[in-house]
A = this chain, B = another copy of it.
Amino acid sequence: MIDITDPAAGMVQLVIFTVDPARQQQVAVAVAATVEQTVAHRPGFLSATYHLSLDGTQILNYAQWASKKDFDAFVADQASQNTRAEFAALDGVRSTTGSAWCVHRTVTAGTAR
């Protein structure tokens, strides 16, 4: 269970990989396996959830961090830079973009109009 509204998640990082559709699934498997072995052990990392675009062209990682400070420390680290370079070099990866967010509010299914 990954709770989007978890108050411990001070920052959300979105990473979108644009990929060759023929390799979408393999890239997602490889990236998630590496993150499980490396990034998942960094201070402040809470979760990473990988999504596949229905059109086959992209992979989205919705990642929760305890704080932007934790995330920035991770990004500045040499090991993190090596991991990003490794992902960029994966067969089928065309480009990668990241963006930082905070949760604003949630709307859930209503029962009365």
Contact = CB atoms under 8 A, between A and B. Distances in A.
A78 interface: no
Nearest to A106: B49
Interface residues of A, number: 47
A17 to B, nearest CB: 12
- DSSP majority for the A interface? strand
Given A53-B101, A68-B54, A100-B55, A40 B107 contact: yes
A22 interface: no
A108 B2 contact: yes
A32 interface: yes
Interface of A: 1-5, 11-12, 14, 28, 32, 35-37, 39-41, 45-55, 58-60, 62, 68, 99-113
B5 A49 contact: yes
B40 A101 contact: no
B40 A104 contact: no
A39 B107 CA distance: 10
B105 A32 contact: yes
Contacts of A102: 51-52, 54
